Amino acid sequence: MGDGLTSKISLSVWILWLVLTFGLSNRGTSVCVRDEAWSKVEVIQTVTAASSLALGDSTYMRLAAEITHIVHIAWPMNFKLLLSSFDASLRTRQNLIQLPSQAYRLNPTKRARFLFISSISTVANYHAVTGESFVPESRVDDLNWSLDLGYAKAKLVCGKVVERTATNHPEIEIGLVRVGQLVGARSGFWNSDERFVTLTLSWLPVDIAVEALSEITFSSSPLHLVYHLENPVRRGWQEVVKLLTKELGIPRNSIIPLRRWLDLNTSTLNKANPTAGLSDFIEKEFPKMLCGKIILDTSFSRAVSPTMRRVGAVDDDKSLRTYVSYWRRIGILK
């Protein structure tokens, strides 16, 4: 992909990165991508799960010759799928890893950089297995650290492949980034498919996460095997609930204990309840993810990312008002 950020970007997934970084008007921000920025983008239609990305030989070899950085971001976000349902995603990961290997064969003086975007779900049982809450930025030593979900298991499989590739293929500079809970952008935009009830209080706005990921990707430092993207500044639920009840006009005496809420939620799983499709996850996994038993160490990511070093808690009045206003505008809140 040429040299750094000034090069043409040859994989269409990077279009998604640009959209997340700059925003669009229907997502609560103004369009601010200049023509000269778009001139650096080349979109190539691919079938990423197919051999050679379903590209012709000449296009594939040109891509391999030019590429310097690959970030595998796209992934089905569905907690109900089995591991076998992620076959296409697993093949995509394998095909993308083969690109920097091909690049090295074409030019042995160049090491392309590959980052796989993993998930906190791959280490969500770390506390249950080890008795510790602080998860280091290191490889998974016990498969039981992962949630028992197809989504988490598939991410874990990819992570183990990244670990093996780092050992067996020194011609590739490879690593993975475990991402915690991403929340709406600072503009207020929040994917309407997200469920507020699945949040932890280590909130990291998506636009901040993109900035940090960019800094990790293009860091001049050698790539570490594992990075974590999670807000290192945490605050208690009590403070956030106080702000939310005020903004939503909910009486403070309506707040109930978590266990009572879980029971009520399970008893009202109908179409009007937006958490109906996540009932098992909420009952089994939500409390441990919510109550601070899993904290991702961010030492390595903060070492290379100025954005991560200056990030703060997302629990102030302004931030919450912005999110609530956006939810009302798109009809999630009536």
Q: Do 129 and 265 belong to one domain?
A: no
Range of the structural domain that residue 250 is part of? 237-289
Its sign, for the CA torsion 184, 212, 316, 200, is positive
Average pLDDT value for the chain: 80
Q: 47-51, 228-232, 262-266: which has the minimum mean pLDDT?
A: 262-266
Identify whether 148 is part of a domain: yes
Q: Return phi, psi of residue 116, to 5°.
A: -105, 130
Q: At what angle do helices 237-248 and 317-329 cross, to 10 degrees?
A: 50
Q: What is the pTM of this model?
A: 0.81
Task: Give me the pLDDT at residue 187, please.
Answer: 59
Work out the percent of the chain whose per-residue pLDDT is above 90. Answer: 45
Q: What is the mean pLDDT of residues 100-119?
A: 93
Which three-class secondary structure state does DSSP give residue 236? coil
Does the structure show a pLDDT above 90 at 274? no
Q: What is the mean pLDDT of residues 191-204?
A: 59
Q: Do 264 and 134 belong to one domain?
A: no
Q: What is the mean pLDDT of residues 272-290?
A: 69
Work out the percent of the chain whose per-residue pLDDT is above 70. Answer: 77
Identify whether 63 is part of a domain: yes
- Judge whether 286 and 198 are in contact, CB under 8 Å: yes
Q: Do 268 and 140 belong to one domain?
A: no
Residue 47: alpha-carbon gap to chain centroid: 22
Question: pLDDT-based confidence at 262, cuts 50/70/90?
Answer: confident
Question: pLDDT-based confidence at 13, cuts 50/70/90?
Answer: very low
Tens-digit pLDDT profile for residues 114-163? 999 999 999 999 999 999 989 999 999 999 999 988 999 999 999 999 99
Q: What is the mean pLDDT of residues 68-90?
A: 90
Tens-digit pLDDT profile for residues 244-259? 788 788 887 888 877 7
- Separation of alpha carbons 39 and 21, rounded Å: 17
What DSSP element (H or E) covers 211? helix 206-217
Length reported for the chain: 334
Give which of 123, 142, 144, 143 is closest to 134, Cα–Cα. Answer: 123
Q: Return phi, psi of residue 72, to 5°.
A: -90, 100
Does the structure show a pLDDT above 70 at 276? no
Q: What is the mean pLDDT of residues 257-264?
A: 79
Q: How many distinct structural domains can be found in the chain?
A: 2
What DSSP element (H or E) covers 179? strand 173-179
Q: Do 273 and 299 belong to one domain?
A: no
Q: 22-31, 78-87, 178-187, 265-274: which has the minimum mean pLDDT?
A: 22-31
Q: Do 257 and 307 belong to one domain?
A: no
Does the structure show a pLDDT above 50 at 108? yes
Task: Give me the pLDDT at residue 291, please.
Answer: 64
Q: Do 165 and 106 belong to one domain?
A: yes
Tens-digit pLDDT profile for residues 14-60? 434 444 444 444 455 445 667 777 787 888 888 999 999 999 999 99
Token pair recorded at residue 16: 């998604």
Sheet with 69-72: list strands edge to edge.
Answer: 69-72, 113-119, 173-179, 226-229
Q: Do 178 and 243 belong to one domain?
A: no
Which three-class secondary structure state does DSSP give residue 44? coil
- Judge whether 143 and 203 are in contact, CB under 8 Å: no
Q: Do 22 and 164 belong to one domain?
A: yes
